[in-house]
Copies of this chain bind each other. A is one copy, B any other.
């Protein structure tokens, strides 16, 4: 006996990928209390609860509501509360006030997520054709996974009790040494930059285009805490000759003396991590530095930062098998292997490149067109992902970007210099 009409089917790939990303998000927040998930430690950061809700809102707003209408919505005010910056979608709750939303509670936000999940599963069955923005939604949620971690780290760093999201974690590389820093030469020439393949990429990675690179050299690994300490001890933070003008003004105004979470305790340097305050691991890559600091270090070291084109050209044939969030350390590993180049994972690497549109770039229609284009001013490109980046999220063409004074991401640097 034959079925005259096939059963509606969930696209197994859609559902599996969706469930995987969604569960990862919730796993990151699993040990947070309602209060942990509510607090906002600075305007740049958002509460964990907000990340959890906002990523659900993205699916509700851009995928479910266009198909099912407003009745699909979990709560009539959540669109107002959990829209981030999509001006086209309507008014938003003021960003600096996010930490005052003690209601809805964490449990209610998780219920909202479950409601969205159920809606999405229904959509996969009923309208698999309406899932054009699914990849974007999942990549968006992965980005917020990393922000959730860096924002919680910033919050816990403000607490004199130095709480840990994940206590008692030791680096697998603890007690090892960083590989010697060597230089790789690249001839450059006329090269292709950007993304064109059929798999997903953000709009800002396109279009693929040609550019010309002069011969250059890149360091074989990221700068370590030990190397950075030499800069600190040499008076690097107080000598304007090493600094960009805007950078020195900011460093002075905010009293920077070392990377963001470094602090002296009993004459030893410590740093705040997602496993609490720890003795600084000198062999590990330096992190939580701004672009301004990275640039000043490079000048002090007689080198410079790579451009994003140089970085991409060098990294394009490298494996992306560094240390990411999936490893569960949430701290950069020591880069011990002289045969590896560690372009991916551990720390985002600041580049010398402002975040600007590639030649021929254009934004998508509608609210999702606000995704990247409107941020192409005043921010600097970082490349390669970090120890807080979800596995499988990164690629050689991936462009992350932050304002040059931001320090709370897992941001580090790799040196470059002109070649003859």
A209 contact set on B, CB distance < 8 A: 212, 214
Chain copies in the assembled complex: 4
Q: Which of A41, A101, A105 has the most CB of B within 10 A?
A: A101
Decide yes or no whether A4 CB sits under 8 A from chain B. no
Contact size class for A?
35 or more
Q: A99-B99, A103-B161, A163-B103 are in contact. Are A214 and B35 (CB under 8 A)?
A: no
Residue from B39, B93, B244, B248 in contact with A38 in the complex, judged by beta carbons closer than 8 Å: B39
Q: A160-B93, A359-B214 are in contact. Are A36 and B377 (CB under 8 A)?
A: no
State the Cβ distance, A258 to closest chain B Cβ, in Å. Answer: 20
Contact between chains at A39 and B100 (CB < 8 Å)? yes
Which of A80-88, A120-128, A220-228 lies at the binding interface? A80-88
Contact between chains at A374 and B77 (CB < 8 Å)? no
Q: How far is the CA of A179 from the CA of B103 in the complex (A)?
A: 39
A190 contact set on B, CB distance < 8 A: 190, 212
Decide yes or no whether A155 CB sits under 8 A from chain B. yes
A159 contact set on B, CB distance < 8 A: 100-103
State the Cβ distance, A405 to closest chain B Cβ, in Å. Answer: 10
A147 contact set on B, CB distance < 8 A: none
State the Cβ distance, A276 to closest chain B Cβ, in Å. Answer: 11
Residue from B88, B102, B243 in contact with A36 in the complex, judged by beta carbons closer than 8 Å: B102
Q: How far is the CA of A46 from the CA of B40 in the complex (A)?
A: 15
Residue of B nearest to A309 (CB): B359
Residue from B158, B243, B359, B404 in contact with A100 in the complex, judged by beta carbons closer than 8 Å: B158
Contact between chains at A240 and B377 (CB < 8 Å)? no
| 25 A–B contacts, CB within 8 A, in A order | A35-B35, A35-B38, A36-B102, A38-B39, A39-B39, A41-B100, A77-B161, A81-B161, A85-B245, A88-B241, A93-B160, A97-B158, A100-B158, A102-B155, A103-B161, A190-B212, A211-B211, A243-B374, A244-B377, A295-B377, A354-B354, A354-B356, A377-B404, A378-B378, A378-B404
Closest 5 CB pairs of A and B: A87-B240, A35-B38, A354-B354, A35-B102, A244-B377
- List 7 additional A-B contacts (Cβ < 8 Å) besides A246-B375, A377-B404: A33-B105, A34-B35, A35-B106, A93-B160, A103-B159, A244-B375, A291-B377
